[in-house]
Amino acid sequence: MQYRRLGRTGLQLSALSFGAWVTFGRQVGRSDARELLALAWDRGVNFFDNAETYNHGDAERLMGDVLADLRFPRDSYCVSSKVYFGVADKPRPTQRGLSRKHVIEACNQALERLRVGHLDLYFCHRPDPETPIEETVAAMDTLIRQGKVLYWGTSEWPAAAIHEAHRIAQAMHMYAPVVEQPQYNLLHRERVEQEYAPLYASYGMGTTIWSPLASGLLSGKYNQGVPEGSRLTQPGYEWLRDIVLGEGGERVQKVKRLPAIAAEADVTPAQLAIAWCLANPNVSTVLLGASRKEQLEQNLGVLDLLPRFDLALKERIEQALA
């Protein structure tokens, strides 16, 4: 495994990490979750990502059970949660958002579900237009001073709101966000590469990037239609189908150009797509998702490709998908 500093912090995260969205508590039950986490940890993964909203808290409950069962030393891994969407199907106003009340209560609930004494990383899952940023910065600062959270960050905040959080934190001598969790993959690049560019230089922010395979699309699994049991067939995720496949399947057409390049490099399209993410020095860690052990095994294998992943290969891939 390769380890990278989370931005300018002293925290070293594995370049490949593992997340629970959609899978834990839905596609993946206890024994599979145990196998996946054990495999990841054996290969040096030290960051496991979660959120209050994933399967209404069940993803955190399952991860917490399995982490306790596997008895990894608590100082050998990092675990995160995210706050904003709430746990309930139809949350009441105090059960969602980034108010001081919800940020603090959601943290306490995540600690219980994950069965840990602190969260290593705690993210504001989206910006909350109904809460002043000062209130959220102060709530995160409180949690850090209480030792319940070690580092806090944002997820999919506009760069302007992140600048504002830093301005407030500096003026009020509070802890500022050190990490952003954005989507980043071959088909979704602009925010990470352009909008956030000043944040890396000005504040030394790190990134824990999500959907490196665009929900599996870049593995080529949707090239011949949507396989039964895959993410896009999960009840409740119908909204994701058009986003992932693109209108009229236009994103699938682009992705069909990847397998030939992957074959020449003697890797799978998924490995090629993940290596491309890792080639960006502003990516601190690539969050992998997997519903099966073989997928995780394959995706972790990308580390063997890295020494061969040069500029020429990167440019070929980018041209193919442009």
As annotated, the active-site residues are: 54
Span from 170-178, 195-203, 209-217, 253-261 in contact with ligand NDP (CB under 6 A): 209-217
CB 161 within 8 A of CB 191: no
| Least distance CB 201 / ligand NDP (angstroms) | 23
Span from 13-21, 61-69, 95-103, 300-308 in contact with ligand NDP (CB under 6 A): 13-21
Nearest CB to ligand NDP, comparing residues 27 and 109: 27
CB 128 within 8 A of CB 101: no
Span from 6-14, 30-38, 216-224, 258-266 in contact with ligand NDP (CB under 6 A): 216-224
Bridge partners (DSSP) of residue 207 are: 180
Q: How distant is the alpha carbon of residue 253 from its chain centre?
A: 26
Amino acid making up residue 69: D
Nearest CB to ligand NDP, comparing residues 258 and 270: 270
Token representation of residue 160: 């302007």
Token representation of residue 318: 């980018």
Other beta carbons less than 10 A from residue 95's beta carbon: 16
For residue 252, the SS3 value is helix
* Residue among 55, 81, 154, 211 that touches ligand NDP (CB under 6 A): 211
CB 126 within 8 A of CB 84: yes
Nearest CB to ligand NDP, comparing residues 252 and 270: 270
Rounded to whole angstroms, how far apart are CA atoms 33 and 25? 9
Rounded to whole angstroms, how far apart are CA atoms 124 and 127? 7
Would you count residue 291 as binding ligand NDP (CB under 6 A)?
A: yes
Token representation of residue 291: 């519903």
Supply the angle between the helices 311-321 and 269-278 in degrees, to the nearest 10: 110
Would you count residue 252 as binding ligand NDP (CB under 6 A)?
A: no
Rounded to whole angstroms, how far apart are CA atoms 211 and 217? 10
Supply the angle between the helices 100-114 and 58-70 in degrees, to the nearest 10: 40
Other beta carbons less than 10 A from residue 183's beta carbon: 17
Would you count residue 230 as binding ligand NDP (CB under 6 A)?
A: yes
Span from 90-98, 113-121, 257-265, 295-303 in contact with ligand NDP (CB under 6 A): 295-303
Would you count residue 214 as binding ligand NDP (CB under 6 A)?
A: yes
| Least distance CB 277 / ligand NDP (angstroms) | 10
Rounded to whole angstroms, how far apart are CA atoms 221 and 295? 11
**Binding string, residues 40-59; x marks residues near ligand NDP by CB under 6 A:** ---------x----------
Would you count residue 313 as binding ligand NDP (CB under 6 A)?
A: no
Would you count residue 287 as binding ligand NDP (CB under 6 A)?
A: yes
Would you count residue 60 as binding ligand NDP (CB under 6 A)?
A: no
Pairing of strands 47-49, 206-209: unpaired
| Least distance CB 101 / ligand NDP (angstroms) | 22
**Binding string, residues 135-174; x marks residues near ligand NDP by CB under 6 A:** --------------------xx------------------
Span from 20-28, 106-114, 252-260, 300-308 in contact with ligand NDP (CB under 6 A): 20-28
**Which positions touch ligand NDP (CB under 6 A)?**
19-21, 23, 27, 49, 125, 155-156, 181, 210-216, 219, 221, 230-231, 270, 287-291, 295, 298-299
